[in-house]
């Protein structure tokens, strides 16, 4: 028998070995838990189709309070991914695009440049 995930109204998620027709089980709290589709239980003939979802769920902030991101983590569909990416202000990398590497901010160098510009503006020239 396969392993299915069940989610209760109390928020608990439980794994159980049940028959295919078992859509509800009793939760530890006593309430009824309903079967949900989880990433571990999803298997398609085309594995490339499921790898995007696993990768996207891995990089999403699991502690996010954004309801759109929480919905994507709970139900990882392509439509929910697009909504979550828009809500978080992120985008896919283009083919050939490399991640941005930022150089550390050098406060001393910056301070020197600002002082030079200030001295330049405040300079008094005496011509004789």
Half-sphere exposure of 32 (CA within 13 A, CB side): 5
Given a cut of 60, is residue 48 above it in pLDDT?
no
- Range scoring the smallest mean pLDDT among 71-75, 98-102, 110-114: 98-102
Write out the DSSP string of 15-44: EEE--TT--EEE-TTSSEEEEE--GGG---
Given a cut of 80, is residue 39 above it in pLDDT?
no
Phi and psi at residue 110, to the nearest 5°:
-65, -45
**Residue 105 DSSP one-character state:** P
Q: How confident is the model at residue 41 (pLDDT cuts 50, 70, 90)?
A: very low
Write out the DSSP string of 51-92: HHHHHHHHHS-TT---HHHHHHHHS--HHHHHHHHHHHT--P
Given a cut of 70, is residue 44 above it in pLDDT?
no
Average pLDDT, the chain: 80
Q: How confident is the model at residue 13 (pLDDT cuts 50, 70, 90)?
A: confident
Q: What is the pTM of this model?
A: 0.36
Sign of the torsion formed by the C-alpha atoms of 91, 92, 94 and 96: positive
Q: Write down the pLDDT at residue 49.
A: 54
Every domain of the chain and the residues it spans: 1-36, 43-88
d(CA 47, CA 62): 24
Query: Would you give the distance in Å from CA 61 to the centre of its chain?
Result: 4
| Bridge partners, residue 24, by sequence | 34
């Amino acid at each position: 028998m396969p392993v299915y995930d069940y989610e209760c109204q109390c928020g608990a998620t439980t794994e159980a070995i049940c028959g295919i027709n078992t859509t509800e089980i009793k939760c530890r709290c006593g309430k009824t838990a309903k079967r949900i589709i989880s990433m571990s239980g999803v298997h398609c003939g085309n594995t490339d189709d499921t790898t995007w979802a696993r990768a996207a769920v891995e990089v999403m902030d699991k502690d996010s309070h954004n309801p759109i991101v929480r919905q994507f983590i709970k139900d990882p569909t392509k439509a929910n991914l697009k909504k979550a990416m828009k809500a978080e202000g992120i985008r896919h990398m283009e083919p050939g695009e490399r991640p941005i590497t930022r150089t550390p901010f050098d406060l001393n160098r910056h301070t020197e440049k600002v002082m030079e510009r200030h001295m330049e503006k405040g300079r008094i020239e005496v011509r004789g």
